[in-house]
Structure 1
Amino acid sequence: MFKNKIKYHFTPLTITSVLMFLICFQFSVTAQNKAWNPAPFEVIKSDYKTFKTTQYAHVFSGSKHNIVRLAPELKGLQGVELPLDTYKSGTNSALKLKFKENVVLLIGIFQENGSEYLQSNKLQKAKLVLENGVTITGLPPVNVYAISFAKGTQTILPDAKGLYAILGVVKSNQKLEFRNAALPDGKLWNPTFIVEGFSDEKPLFEIIGGENKPVVDEGIPGTEENQGGFEGGRVVKVGDNYHMFPTERAGEKGVDYYYDRVKTKIGHWTSKDAIHWKREATIYQASGTYAVTEDDNPMNDRRAAIWSYMPVFNEKANKWYGYYLAYTVSKEIEPNHSFGRIWRCESTIDGINGIGGPYKDMGIIMEPGLDSQPWEGRQGVASFFPYQAGDKWLGFYSGAYPFDSWADYPKKSGKGWFVALAESNSLEGPWKRRNKGIKPIKSIHPFFVENPIVSQLPNGLYIAIFDGGPDGWGHHLPNMIGYSLSKDGYQWSEARYLPIETKVNKWWDIMRTPLCLIPEGNDVYTIVYAAIDLKKRFHPIGMVKVKLNKEVMQSRLEELKKE
């Protein structure tokens, strides 16, 4: 990246001094930014709920707005969930809180002019303690002010008009030192999204636990030739055995990390518990050969990178089929994965136990062509997953890096990760884009749905579990596994997102793709997922357990039937 390299010379004394300074500085920052001491309080004559001020906390009832960033001083305090609409319109009733001692109330003020937000100049005897101290999805940056209240029942800001947030109550002797927490604008997370368990509705899934570290990580047997870890694919369960077919970002020893996502393999791993895994075989291996032209040209190797292997058992044929993605790879044009083609293969061994193959290719079932649409973009067709709906087979297919029009082909692409449905009378095909693929499905999320895998819940509801998009690489997306529901497999609901880190240690920075939603009995499901720890080149595999709420499942089905 940098052409000019500057050389610095350090003596041992200099290095020691620098290290001591950094240690002392880090200790000072950590000590200064410790969580403030909460003070107890009670909401008087109101049905307003309280919330714990943490990541994903639901700040306003009647909304999807949640905290995605907060200064550590606020963590663990107790806030009050205010009704969004009445506070924005200034029609809210007075809020009364009862304090058992003298306290300091922490108020979040949005940094935007207008009558719908309470303005900081309307506060009396308030002290600014945290600039940019909280990020709330879809809303302007938040400054945090401290207001002192005496022991007893107090009416909170009775003359204030406009929306604000009550983020916590601390003891009056708490030392509140001003600083700029420098947290980002919540409007970067647009649109807002529903976090499971942090909204007005009951969650469909409860996170009940899982492994607090990766289950497949660098250094375990089977990863010796894998430089970059894993991404995408599917896990299925046959009898008591789990079978995982991940994309292995194999790369090449001595070659930089960018090549990991070019020279890929499809591996086959097995496990008895979805925790301890053994690598069995390589199903497919990509060539890793870069394209020689920038367009979709047969001169290029169209199997340069292979991804997203999806095994599906065909009961009629009594054998396993595999659907996978092969790319042309450009070295110069974003995205380097271009002009995806979906291949179908079949196990050469009949029966449910033939899942390990070997597999033989049966040909391409979807590819760029005359029936493609500009939204499929330079990367499409970028994934495929088939499932049965009535007497038809449907398949989620995807596109990415869309063209505004074909005039932008082949390299002037935008941003967006979309899905639509293809249709067939059989798993073999032919597969056709439904409604000629004119529009992608935006009811799930308007611009990011990646690698959906479909199954059915016990009451017949279809569920698609998918990669909800990163909070990284310049994107501000949920950074959680998402799911969408459908009553018929055709119409799909707005996504909900699973905050796995609320019940297991968060070892990742960027959540990526779920590989399964496997029922285990007693309404418990296993999710195996790929994620990224930015401190390392190798992208590991994790596992978590969730529990289905059947009452919520049935109510969601009834809601979808009314639509």
Structure 2
Amino acid sequence: MRKIKSIFSLFLFVLGVQFSIFAQNTSLKPVSYTVVTKKRQTYTVQQYAHVFSESKHNIVGFAPELKGLKAVRLPLGSYKNGSHDALKLNFSHPSKLLIGVFKDTSADYLQPNQLGNAQLVIQNGVTVTGLPAVDVYALDFKKGIQTILPNQKGLFMVLGALNNANSLVQTDAKMLDGREWKFPYIIEDFSDEKPLFKVIGGQDAPVIDEGMSGTEGIQGGFEGGRVVKIKDTYHMFPTERAGEKGVDYYYDRVKTKIGHWTSKDAIHWKRESTIYQASGVYAITEDDNPMNDRRAAIWSYMPVFNEKTNKWYGYYLAYTVHKEIEPNHSFGRIWRCESTVEGIDGIGGPYKDMGIIMEPGLDSQPWEGRQGVASFFPYQVGDKFFGFYSGAYPFESWADYPKKSGKGWFVALAESKSLEGPWSRLNKGLEPIKTIHPQFVENPIVSQLPNGLYIAIFDGGPEGWGHHLPNMIGYTLSKDGVNWSEARYIPIETKVKKWWDIMRTPLCLIPEGNDEYTIVYNAIDLKRRFHPTGMVKVKLDREVMEQRLKDLK
């Protein structure tokens, strides 16, 4: 019994030490310092912080005790090749400088043995997109101007300075290796360049949520669609993940509806009608077979006004749904419909189907995958029309059809002489557009900025479900509507409360005057079955807009 008590006492002592260690390393006292070396900027350690100049690498995870420390942004290229000027800092007090060392033995990175008498403080302390995991060391410096690691080659991070009196102990923050984020990306207001859009506010909670009027019978919330504004009224056509009560939540993605909602302020919404209702019937074969119900799930309704015919057209996606083969949504077909009511006020329909404009067939390419054609959005450039169409879960070759699919969400362009069609894959769809993002672009919606630049706003891909993607609303620019720029991503949680875990699809970029725009979006709280709808406001910087126009080739 005495031995058990001793072991228990030892356990409590060790546990107490662990809590003490945690308290010590989360109560760090930073000290002030200035950067003496010219052209070296500082930044605050926080989510999305841009850590190196001349690069796209950003922080996406860090030990909590590092939050808010003043770090130094080093030039990536010159530190990798050893051609950089020596970094000089002026410390106000004797200090411990926190150095981030990448866990990679190649010559591109500073190695721990180059630090001299340094103390390892936090293992796996920072995750930086596209770069190895980071261990954090503390290096002692005296008060005054000091040269940091002179004549040392290799990339490292300067993460802040602490009071030399801080007693530090080693911990493991268990942050992920940043190379799991395979494609670093540009985040507005965090990179070297000025942002095109500044987030200026919005709602700190969903504008449509479970239990609100109009959501009766919608088990799983919303995903995708479009919002347009006519006079003083917003019209939204979301995919309603209706499902059925008492049926597993996955069925929310199968038995869907296209709803019509209206609002005067993009905050308070009223459900007006159902435009389309999917059958919810699962496929009976694994291939693209007419025996299957090809309208089992309906998604991604895009209303577009045709001035020539004075009618609203709708473009939407209908899937075959297999119960077991991933992706369950398969062999998408794009339908076009027309409002039976003429004029701009006929947006509410009713609508009649005019037929399929794009589908799997002889012109399809393996990259379109099992899910393609997976969305469609038409827009006009001069006297021609183009349309973004998408594919997902690509086949490496047609030998993989119909079950062996890979991962990737891609877009390409179709072209036509009219909104009615016929539509053909541009350049026969041989390759998707990878200038925007090499792995994930979903549901782009195109409009024009005041200087004529085309802009497509889109779903930038989840941080979740095994994916390490931007998890933000993205946009891309084009001078001619055909060649599209690398994406930028908008971190709206910098100005509104983040109520979501996974950011999904933006439904609009609506100009409101004074260079302000409204974005309505769908997002996911993983603790809940219902996927709500949110709203945010952004402001356009015209000076940046003009510079982007000049930069585009």
| TM-score bracket relative to the smaller structure | over 0.9
CA distance in 2, matches of 1:276, 1:172: 54
Pick from 369, 372, 386 the counterpart of residue 377 of structure 1.
369
- In the alignment, does 2:85 pair up with 1:93? yes
CA contact (8 A) 2:522 2:533 kept: yes
Pick from 160, 177, 184 the counterpart of residue 152 of structure 2.
160
Paired residue secondary structure (2:250): helix
Corresponding residue for residue 406 of structure 2: 414
CA contact (8 A) 1:102 1:150 kept: yes
CA distance in 1, matches of 2:249, 2:199: 33
CA contact (8 A) 1:35 1:75 kept: no
CA contact (8 A) 2:25 2:168 kept: no
Counterpart of 1:454 in structure 2: which amino acid?
V
Shift of 1:304: 0.3
Pick from 304, 307, 332 the counterpart of residue 296 of structure 2.
304
Shift of 1:173: 2.7
Counterpart of 2:172 in structure 1: which amino acid?
N
Pick from 463, 470, 480 the counterpart of residue 471 of structure 1.
463
CA distance in 1, matches of 2:502, 2:475: 17
Counterpart of 2:200 in structure 1: which amino acid?
I
CA contact (8 A) 2:25 2:169 kept: no
Pick from 453, 458, 461 the counterpart of residue 453 of structure 2.
461
- In the alignment, does 2:392 pair up with 1:404? no
How many pairs were matched up? 538
CA contact (8 A) 2:37 2:86 kept: no
CA contact (8 A) 1:400 1:417 kept: yes
1:335-484 mapped onto 2 (5 Å cutoff): 335-484=327-476
1:228-243 mapped onto 2 (5 Å cutoff): 228-243=220-235
CA contact (8 A) 1:418 1:440 kept: yes
Paired residue secondary structure (1:199): coil
Shift of 1:224: 1.4
CA distance in 1, matches of 2:324, 2:18: 40
Shift of 1:29: 9.6
Aligned-pair identity in percent equals 75
Shift of 1:172: 2.1
Counterpart of 2:385 in structure 1: which amino acid?
W
Counterpart of 1:539 in structure 2: which amino acid?
H
CA distance in 1, matches of 2:20, 2:514: 49
Query: Taking structure 1 as reference, are residues 270 and 181 closer, same or farther at Cα in structure 2, changes over 3 Å only?
Result: same
Pick from 258, 264, 270 the counterpart of residue 266 of structure 1.
258
Shift of 1:35: 5.8
1:198-234, Cα deviation, whole Å (9 max, x unpaired):
1111111111111111111111011111111110000
CA contact (8 A) 2:460 2:469 kept: yes
Shift of 1:460: 0.3
1:1-400 mapped onto 2 (5 Å cutoff): 31=23, 34=26, 36-400=28-392
CA contact (8 A) 1:106 1:166 kept: yes
Shift of 1:105: 0.8
CA contact (8 A) 1:64 1:193 kept: yes
CA distance in 2, matches of 1:81, 1:479: 24
CA distance in 1, matches of 2:122, 2:133: 11
Paired residue secondary structure (1:553): helix
Shift of 1:539: 0.6
CA distance in 1, matches of 2:541, 2:29: 36
Paired residue secondary structure (1:81): strand
Paired residue secondary structure (2:523): strand
Q: TM-score, normalised by structure 2?
A: 0.95
1:309-332, Cα deviation, whole Å (9 max, x unpaired):
000011111111100000000001
Shift of 1:32: 6.2
Paired residue secondary structure (1:280): strand
Runs of 5+ consecutive residues of structure 2 not aligned to the other structure: 1-15
Corresponding residue for residue 548 of structure 1: 540
Task: Supply the RMSD in Å over aligned alpha carbons.
Answer: 1.5
Query: Taking structure 1 as reference, are residues 420 and 535 closer, same or farther at Cα in structure 2, changes over 3 Å only?
Result: same
Shift of 1:116: 1.2
1:379-411, Cα deviation, whole Å (9 max, x unpaired):
000000000011101000000001111111111
Shift of 1:26: 12
Counterpart of 1:518 in structure 2: which amino acid?
I
CA contact (8 A) 1:35 1:74 kept: no
- In the alignment, does 2:477 pair up with 1:502? no
CA distance in 2, matches of 1:356, 1:25: 66
1:436-476, Cα deviation, whole Å (9 max, x unpaired):
11111111111110000000000000000000111111111
Query: Taking structure 1 as reference, are residues 235 and 33 closer, same or farther at Cα in structure 2, changes over 3 Å only?
Result: farther
Query: Taking structure 1 as reference, are residues 500 and 28 closer, same or farther at Cα in structure 2, changes over 3 Å only?
Result: farther
CA distance in 1, matches of 2:24, 2:205: 30
CA contact (8 A) 2:367 2:432 kept: yes
Shift of 1:47: 1.5
CA distance in 1, matches of 2:19, 2:204: 27
1:135-163, Cα deviation, whole Å (9 max, x unpaired):
01111110011112221111111132211
Query: Taking structure 1 as reference, are residues 518 and 449 closer, same or farther at Cα in structure 2, changes over 3 Å only?
Result: same
1:219-250, Cα deviation, whole Å (9 max, x unpaired):
10111111111100000000011111110111
Counterpart of 2:179 in structure 1: which amino acid?
K
CA distance in 2, matches of 1:107, 1:345: 60
Counterpart of 1:68 in structure 2: which amino acid?
V
Pick from 500, 506, 522 the counterpart of residue 530 of structure 1.
522
CA distance in 2, matches of 1:307, 1:242: 20
CA distance in 1, matches of 2:22, 2:276: 49
Paired residue secondary structure (1:260): helix
CA distance in 2, matches of 1:56, 1:312: 36
CA contact (8 A) 1:344 1:362 kept: yes
CA contact (8 A) 1:519 1:525 kept: yes
